[in-house]
Amino acid sequence: MFFSTYLASRMTETQVYRICPVVSDGKFYEYAECTRKEGRWPNEKWFTTNKLIYVGRLVKIAQGGYGDGGWRTDYFEDEYGNEHKVDYNYFGTTCFREVPQRPIPSLQDLSRNIVKKHVDDLHLKTDNPLRAIIEDSF
């Protein structure tokens, strides 16, 4: 029983990396706190069972202090211009994973998936005024 529980918990883990993103690299990131590490430095591997949070592209870094009093906060921006703040924790378990940029959904997808989930306008012709009303619901 213990072995099957151990395997099940390892299957939901995602490998993450203890990297410090750079403002000018133009890369996009997901963030999570590490929950487990294996190996010894310099061959450590970091894993998380937490949900990875998409934060986007790094736009600003704030840091200060030194030694045990040091701190760092990264400010990211996603494709919609939303700011995401990531505070590095004291224990050094703040981890990232590089990911491709997310595509921006069309207004039609947004209106169908967010505002008008219960309305299906795919059967309507493109010149139908009802379809225009549904799609222009923003």
pLDDT > 80? residue 136: no
Parse the chain into domains and list their residue ranges. Answer: 2-99, 105-138
Residues 6+ apart with CB under 8 A from 126: none
pLDDT (tens digit per residue) in 52-95: 999 999 999 999 988 888 899 999 998 888 899 999 998 889 99
- Least trusted range by pLDDT, from 44-48, 89-93, 130-134: 130-134
DSSP state string for 70-137: -EEEEEEE-TTS-EEEEEPPTTS-EEEEEEPPPPPPPHHHHIIIII-TT---TTS-TT-HHHHHHHT-
What rounded mean pLDDT belongs to the chain? 80
**CA separation for the pair 27, 16 (Å, rounded):** 15
- pLDDT exceeds cutoff 60 at 22: yes
Rg over alpha carbons for the chain, rounded to the nearest Å, is 21
The per-residue DSSP string of 44-76 comes to -EEEE-SPPEEEEEEEEEEEE--GGG-EEEEEE
Question: pTM of the prediction?
Answer: 0.66
Query: In the structure encoding, which two tokens stand for residue 96, read together?
Result: 């990232």
Question: What's the DSSP call for residue 25?
Answer: G
Above 50 in pLDDT, residue 110? yes
Q: pLDDT value at position 138?
A: 40
